[in-house]
Amino acid sequence: MNDTLIKAAAHFGISLTVDQSGALRVLLTELNDWNQRINLTAIRDPEQQLTKHLLDSLSIHPYLRGNYIADVGTGAGFPGLPLALVNPDKQFVLMDSINKKLRFVKHAAQVMKLSNVAVLHTRAQDHRPARRFDCVVSRAMGSIENFVLWCGHLCADGGRLLAMKGRYPDAELAAVPEGWRVVAIHELKVPGLDEQRHLVELCRKQGAC
């Protein structure tokens, strides 16, 4: 798996080290161990875990902005944990409303020796951070409209909301809330994954972004 991960990560401009590749393998090992007791993910096949968890998470690496990043609705830690591993200079806050999943995320961050990860048990719409985030990422917040309504207040002026989607979200793009605009839509190519992936970048209409 090491060679596969390293080659695939290079597709996203990531020079993955052998140690980092090993840490990602440990993440999947821990995920599968915990999954025996807690339902963390429905994806059980190792190859699908590699593509749909690890590589899918790393695919948005080129589009991260700033040094303070939130992963909202992180679930079992995706995309936050893989992104934190390959961006040790950035600080990540992984938040979710389901505490049992966050117990795993905290454990995994410790096992992976990630000092740049904080875990927060909260609903995104209820959180009022003292410092807003340069980038707010999610692949599990439902529609783009809900993502903006629930998480827009977390984003700093000039920052980005990054919505991870599957197929090109035509209908959702027509319902972007007032005050926000779509900056770019990126088609993502995930090695080994024969499914569509898109990343929608949004920012506030007012101010530089």
- pLDDT for res 47: 85
Residues 54, 36: Cα–Cα separation, whole Å: 20
Assigned token pair, 44: 């059980």
Please give the angle made by the CA atoms of 90, 137 and 56, to the nearest 5 degrees. Answer: 90
> What integer is the mean pLDDT of 68-91?
97
Domain total for the chain? Answer: 1
Answer positive or negative: Cα dihedral of 173, 178, 180, 181.
positive
Q: Determine the average pLDDT of the residues in 71-84.
A: 97
Q: Using pLDDT thresholds of 50, 70 and 90, give the confidence band for residue 205.
A: confident
CATH of the domain at 77: 3.40.50.150
Least-confidence region, from 48-52, 119-123, 204-208: 204-208
Work out the pLDDT band at 52, boundaries 50, 70, 90.
very high
Query: What angle do the packed helices 99-111 and 18-35 form, to 10 degrees?
Result: 150
CA 79/CA 72 separation, integer angstroms: 10
Here the tokens at position 89 are 């200079």
Whether 72 maps to a domain, the answer reads yes
Q: Give the pLDDT mean for 111-121.
A: 98
Length reported for the chain = 209
With cut-offs at 50, 70 and 90, classify the pLDDT of residue 44.
confident
pLDDT over 90 (residue 206): no
For 147-199, write each residue's pLDDT tens digit.
999 999 999 999 999 999 999 999 999 999 999 999 999 999 999 999 999 99
209 domain-assigned:
no
User: Is residue 186 packed enough to be buried (19+ CB in 10 Å), middle (13-18) or exposed (0-12)?
Assistant: middle
* 77 domain residue, yes or no: yes
Percentage of the chain modeled with pLDDT above 70? 98
Whole-angstrom distance, CA of residue 97 vs CA of residue 132: 19
Answer whether residue 163 is part of any domain: yes
Confidence of residue 207 (pLDDT cuts 50, 70, 90): low
Q: Cα–Cα distance between 23 and 18 in angstroms, integer?
A: 9
Asked if residue 28 is part of any domain, the answer here is yes
pLDDT given at position 2: 67
**Spatial contact of 151 and 95, defined as CB atoms under 8 Å apart:** no
Of residues 195 and 2, the one with the higher pLDDT is 195
d(CA 76, CA 54): 12
pLDDT at residue 1 tops 90: no
- Measure the CA–CA gap between 41 and 20, rounded to whole angstroms: 22
- CA gap 77, 132 in Å, rounded: 20
The answer to the question of residue 127 being in a domain is yes
pLDDT band at 34 (very low <50, low <70, confident <90, very high): very high
**Residue 155 covered by a domain:** yes
Q: Which DSSP string do the residues of 120-185 spell out, in sequence order?
A: EES-GGG---SS-EEEEEESSS-SHHHHHHHHGGGEEEEEEEEEEESS--HHHHTTPPTTEEEEEE
Task: Look at residue 4 in the predicted model and tell me its pLDDT.
Answer: 84
Task: Give mean pLDDT, residues 59-83.
Answer: 97
- Answer with the residue of higher pLDDT: 107 or 46: 107
Give the residue numbers spanning the domain of 8.
Answer: 2-204
The answer on pLDDT for 80 being more than 90 is yes
